Amino acid sequence: MKAFRGHDNKIRLFRPEMNMKRMVASAQRAGFAPFNDILLLDCLKQLIEIDKDWVPSQKLTSLYLRPTFIGTEPALGVSSSSEGILFIIMCPVGAYFKTGVKPVSLVSDSRNVRAWPGGTGCYKMGSNYAPTIALQEEAEKKGYQQILWLYGDDQELTEVGAMNIFFYMINENNERELVTPSLDKGMVLPGVIRNSVLQLAQHWVK
């Protein structure tokens, strides 16, 4: 989630309510106590107002926002935590890649998997990313910027390391199609941008 400064100097969030709903679902999957996502969003807006000078104004920049929920119960054991801390990390950022807003190079990985049916690939959890870091670094050494994660014997497409993926194609009926991996199996993160692209594409078809 990011805060953007417009040409009119007004600061805007992009569909933050969807990020909040996704965080609620992720917290439930991790066994954390429920929290009020509407109240958290209100706190987030107040925090941005206090630190609004940190929202950059240069092209392709924004204030990166990372609501974070961690368990803090002073005990060791395999169980849900009865205590936790909910906080927000903020940082001014530029384009995600050093090359800017340009096509990125991908390498497919058929040896390792990022997520699997019934797992936590569809939730925003650190455990989905930590095991991919070493493999991502290997890909970068070979000249690739991201990994296209595959799954199963059929090498089913899931997502790219830092983003959902779409394919624009002409099908066998000579029709234009925009295709993206399904959320049905729980292997793909329900990205806010993904949802927005699908909604816009349906509007264009009409």
Please name the residue ranges forming H helices in 74-132: none
The DSSP line for 45-62 is HHHHHHTGGGS--STT-E
The answer to whether the Cα torsion of 177, 182, 187, 189 is positive or negative is positive
Q: Which amino acid is at 39?
A: L
Catalytic residue among 52, 124, 142, 206, which? 124
What distance separates the 2 farthest-apart alpha carbons in the chain? 61
Q: What's the N-to-C CA distance of the chain in angstroms? A: 29
Is 31 exposed, middle or buried, given 0-12, 13-18 or 19+ CB atoms closer than 10 A? exposed
Is 52 considered catalytic here? no
Which of 138, 136, 159, 134 has its CA nearest to residue 149?
159
| Distances, alpha carbon 3 to alpha carbons 64, 97, 121, 126, 183, in Å | 7, 18, 25, 22, 27
Residues taking part in catalysis: 124
